[in-house]
Amino acid sequence: MKYSQFNSILPLEDKFVLYNTFSNHAIVLDPLLKDLLNAAKIEGIDNLEDVHPTFFSALKHKEFLLEDSVDEVQKVMDLRNAVDYAEDAYHLTINPTMNCNFKCWYCYETHIKASRMNEEIIERVNKFLSYQLEKNEKLQHFTLSWFGGEPLLYYYDIVLPIINHFNKVAQNRSISTFVNFTSNGFLVSEKMLESFKETGVRSLQITLDGYGADHDKVRYVTETRGSYEKIISNVVMMIKQQVFIRLRINYTTENLKNVHRIVYDLLDLTEADKEFIMVDFHRVWQDDVLDDSDIVQLQIDEFKKYGFAVSSNHSMDNVRNSCYADKKNSAVINYNGDVFKCTARDFTTFKRDGYIDEQGEIIWENGRHEKRMDSKFKNKPCLSCRLLPVCNGGCSQHAVENVEIQGEYCVFNHDENRKSEIVMEKVRELLDLA
C-alpha cells in the first residue's frame, strides 16, 4: 500500500484532521493516531496493519491508503476529461453589446457606445443554435447566457428575437434549456418581466456595490441620480414573479461595514419568495487589503438571521465543478462575431479565439481551442501537489497564460500554508464546522 499524495494532516482544535482532496473524505484523529500514522509513513505504511489493524482498514476504506499500482494523477485526469469533454451539454454566452448604462471603476470591459449585434451576426447565431438544437444528437442540455456590456440595453432588438428562435427550435427536441442574464438590473420593467416569463428566462445575476449611497457612488445615472433604489425595487419585483436572482454583492474595504443594511430593503419578501434569491458576496479584486474575514462574516450572518441563503467563499472544487470556459462545449460570441472562451477579459479582436462564420459554424483559430483544452496537466508542480483534485491548476485561461509567460507556476505561489487554508475550507464544509 501507499500513502495518497492528496492527503493532508492539519490541526483541528485539540485533535487533527486527515483529509483527502480526491475522495473528499476526512477523519478526525487523536494526537496518538496522528503520531502513529506519521511514523508509519516513515517506517513503511504496511507495518501499520500489524500495529493497528482497525485504523489501517479505515484508512484503506476511506482511500487515504491505496494500492501501489494506482496512478492517482491519472484518476484526476480521467475525471477531468469526463467533466470537461462531456458531449451532452452546451453553454453559449452572447454579448449583444459592449455598451453599458454604467461605468463601474473596477470593470475590466472596454465599453463601446456604438457596439451592437447587427442582423448578419444575429442570423449567424441563429444558424448555430439551429444546428446544435436540431442536428446535435448527443445534446441533452443547453444553457444560453447573456453578458456584455449591459445585455438589456438591446433586449427587444437583439436579445428577444434570438431567445424566440432558440425556444422555437428547442421545442422540437426533448432538450432541457436554461436562459439567464448577467445584468445590472436597472433597465428591468414590468413589460420586460412579462417577456421573461413568456420566454422562459429563469435567472438573473444582479450586482450591488454596497448599500445605498455606497452603491450610488459606483453605479449612477447622473451625478445627482443613483441607481440603488431602482435596482432593489426591480429585484423584489422579479423575485415575487418567481424569477431567480443571484444578488452579487461586490464589497470593498470602504463599503463593507454597511452591506448588511441591504437586507432591510428585502424584508417584504415572504419565506416562499426567499426560495428565489441567493446572496453572493465577492470582494472587488482590485481592492487588495488585509484580511477582513471576520467583518465579512458579520455581514453574512445578518442576511442569514432573516432567512436568506448566502453563498460566499465556496471551497475550491475546480475539477468536478470546472469553469464553463474549461469545457469543450462552451463559447462566448461577441456582438461582432468574434468568439472567445472566457468572459473575464476585454473582448478585443486581437485576443479572440475564433469567429462565427456565415454558416453559423464556430471557427477556432490558430489551434487556440485545442491549446486551451490541452493546457491542464502540462505544469509539472501540479502533478505532485496535494491540491490537484480541487485546484486543477487554476482555470484554463490561467494555465495557458502562465505557461506561456513563466513556464512552471503555482496559483498559490507554492505557499504550503495557503494550500493548508484551502484544505481547511474543504474540511469545514464537509464537517459543517462553524
Confidence of residue 404 (pLDDT cuts 50, 70, 90): low
- The helix or strand, by DSSP H or E, that contains position 216, with its residue range, turns out to be helix 213-218
The letter for the amino acid at 8 is S
Give me the CATH code for the 86-364 domain, please: 3.20.20.70
Closest by Cα among 146, 201, 203, 141 to 170: 141
Residues of the chain with pLDDT > 90, as a percent, come to 71
What is d(CA 113, CA 148) in angstroms, rounded to the nearest whole number?
Answer: 12
Residue with cell string 503555482: 410
What is d(CA 203, CA 336) in angstroms, rounded to the nearest whole number?
Answer: 25
Q: What is the dihedral of CA 304, 308, 311, 313, to 10 degrees?
A: -20
- Asked if residue 107 has pLDDT above 60, the reply is no
Please give the pLDDT value at position 291.
56
Residue with cell string 464546522: 433
Q: What angle do CA 167, 332, 139 make, to 5 degrees?
A: 50
Backbone angles phi, psi at 390, to 5 degrees: -115, -25
C-alpha grid cell, residue 154: 438591446
Please give the pLDDT value at position 172.
87
Q: What is the mean pLDDT of residues 109-119?
A: 79
- Kindly give the pairing relationship between strand 15-20 and strand 25-29: antiparallel
What is d(CA 18, CA 35) in angstroms, rounded to the nearest whole number?
Answer: 12
* Neighbouring C-beta atoms of residue 298, cutoff 10 Å: 14
Please give the pLDDT value at position 434.
46
End-to-end CA distance of the chain: 35
Query: At how many degrees (to 10) do helices 160-170 and 119-135 cross?
Result: 20
Closest by Cα among 309, 361, 344 to 128: 361
What's the pLDDT tens digit per position in 288-339? Answer: 655 567 788 899 999 999 999 998 556 789 999 998 999 999 999 999 999 9
What's the pLDDT tens digit per position in 251-280? Answer: 988 889 999 999 999 999 999 999 999 999
Beta-carbon contacts of 134 under 8 Å, excluding residues fewer than 6 positions away, are 169, 172, 173
Query: At how many degrees (to 10) do helices 190-199 and 160-170 cross?
Result: 20
Beta-carbon contacts of 292 under 8 Å, excluding residues fewer than 6 positions away, are 253, 256
Q: What is the mean pLDDT of residues 136-145?
A: 95
What's the pLDDT tens digit per position in 173-211? Answer: 889 999 999 999 999 999 999 999 999 999 999 999 999
Residues facing 378 on adjacent strands: none
Cα 116 from chain centroid?
27
What's the pLDDT tens digit per position in 225-243? Answer: 889 999 999 999 999 999 9
What's the pLDDT tens digit per position in 328-383? Answer: 999 999 999 999 998 877 788 888 999 999 999 999 998 889 888 888 888 889 99
What's the pLDDT tens digit per position in 58-97? Answer: 999 999 999 999 999 999 999 999 999 999 999 999 999 9
Q: What is the mean pLDDT of residues 102-122?
A: 76
Closest by Cα among 235, 270, 268, 238 to 249: 235
Cα 54 from chain centroid?
40
Confidence of residue 143 (pLDDT cuts 50, 70, 90): very high
* Domain(s) of CATH 3.20.20.70: residues in the chain: 86-364
What are the residue ranges of helices labelled H in 52-203?
Answer: 53-61, 72-84, 119-135, 160-170, 190-199
